[in-house]
Structure 1
Amino acid sequence: MAMIIEKVYVSGMKFIDEAIESYCIQKSSKPSAVCEEIATYTRANIPQSQMLIGPMEASVLGSYIRAIRAKRILEFGTYTGYSALAMAENLPDDGELVSLDVNEETSKLARSFWDKSPDGKKIKNIVAPALESLKTLNGKFDFVFIDADKENYLAYLKASLERLSEGGMIALDNCLRNGKSIEEGFTDPGTEAIKECNLWIAQQSTLFSSLLPVRDGIFVVQRR
């Protein structure tokens, strides 16, 4: 096990052989050219570009969104807008995605890219603390994607469950924490919060959950 963890740290969120992952990406449906433009710009110009979800993760999220016929999505964590647009591309024309973030600069950048896409009109961005913003929103959400500050993951999850529609689904990103979630020696606040959230999910008899080793780990949650 230690050898596997070491490989993860060196390669950076690579839990699957690179050639296999590349093959899977090639054969899967991909986000639009605008999404690729966002990714290219972010990697070249924006700090912490590893926060981007990848095309494989975008394809997995898109599959779930389509499978449950989601019409309304809630996103915690906008960053530069890749994940929001990738998900919005799988909504019907009258669908809506609400993306919450506290960073005004990256949110403005995200909007500049969304405006290049016909699916950008589906996206509403609110720049304010997420839990405060959620209180101002009405109605239920069919799909929720949590990819924001790790220390608040459990709070975001619990708040999302209260607003989840019947048959809705929640996906939490980075739940393997680059392999640190399974190690005892890592006690930074983000990792501790992810471990707590993972454990809480696993202990809930009212939830059906699946932790997928896609990129940095996607925890998919539904009510039973």
Structure 2
Amino acid sequence: MSSVLTDEVARFVAATAPEPDETLVEMDEYAAAEGFPHVGPAVGSVCRLVARMVDAERIFEFGSGYGYSAYWFAEALPDDGEIVLTEVDADELELAREYLREGGYDDRARYELGDALETVERYDGPFDVVLIDHQKHRYREAFEAVRPKVPVGGALVADNAMKAGIIEFEKLLAIAEGGDPDAVNEHTRGIADYLDAVRTDPAFETVVLPLGEGIAVSYRVE
């Protein structure tokens, strides 16, 4: 993962962030060893904070990888809470199960192998928090699919709102400032379309936080 922060500021954020438990440390080490692009502890701690602030009881993830963000979220859930993990890679989903079991959160997790957009259609709301972290060109589609299932007082968190290896930040910035650069790849356009959708939706208040690779946090106000 490449942070949008300078190295010095990223070090400060890491030094002042909540301490991860032993399982999260193990998960961070796995990401570093395998080159896995997880959200990292700074974003993970914000995910947990958002879940705590909205008193989340049910959470849905569009893209869960090996369970890193889900683990942070699970720590904020009550004992009878539920988090739905979605992943297209069976091995990663099984690894997520192992880590959540290790942390004592397996009983509140549901593991769904397959396309997240197909999975969410099988679930009734409400979902108090939704993480969008799958294919970038499908972010807006994910928002439209889950929007009716997010109650007033619920929140969306979208990763890679500023940066990723496939996102052209200068063109994303130009779009955000009202321009329309030529030859924008579908991933960059997908993030731009998502941000436009949540920022212009009167039911949501959205801010982009420059942590990790950028996260857009949207709170449902009506």
Shorter-chain-normalised TM-score: which range? 0.7 to 0.9
Report if the CA contact (8 A) 1:62-1:86 is conserved.
yes
For the structure 1 residues 196 and 210, does the alpha-carbon distance in structure 2 shift closer, same or farther, using more than 3 Å as the test? same
Structure 2 distance, partners of 1:35, 1:120, is: 15
Q: What are the equivalent positions in structure 2 for 1:153-168 lying under 5 Å apart?
A: 153-168=139-154
1:212 paired residue number? 209
Report if the CA contact (8 A) 1:58-1:86 is conserved.
yes
1:195 paired residue number? 192
Report if the CA contact (8 A) 1:85-1:120 is conserved.
no
For the structure 1 residues 189 and 95, does the alpha-carbon distance in structure 2 shift closer, same or farther, using more than 3 Å as the test? same
Deviations 1:126-161 (A, max 9, x none): 001112111222331111111111111001111121
Q: Which runs of 5+ in 2 are unaligned?
A: 175-180
What SS class does the counterpart of residue 116 from structure 1 fall into?
Answer: helix
Q: How many residues align?
A: 210
Q: CA RMSD in A?
A: 1.8
1:40 paired residue number? 29
Deviation at 1:41, TM superposition (A): 1.7
Deviations 1:157-215 (A, max 9, x none): 11121111231111111011243421546622111111111122222233211111111
Structure 1 distance, partners of 2:94, 2:14, is: 29
Normalised by the size of structure 2, how large is the TM-score?
Answer: 0.87
Q: In structure 2, which of residues 104, 117, 136 is the aligned counterpart of residue 150 of structure 1?
A: 136
What SS class does the counterpart of residue 132 from structure 1 fall into?
Answer: helix
Q: What are the equivalent positions in structure 2 for 1:9-88 lying under 5 Å apart?
A: 13-45=2-34, 49=36, 51-88=37-74
Structure 2 distance, partners of 1:29, 1:185, is: 42
For the structure 1 residues 217 and 163, does the alpha-carbon distance in structure 2 shift closer, same or farther, using more than 3 Å as the test? same
Question: Moved runs in structure 1, 4+ residues, more than 3 A?
Answer: 183-186
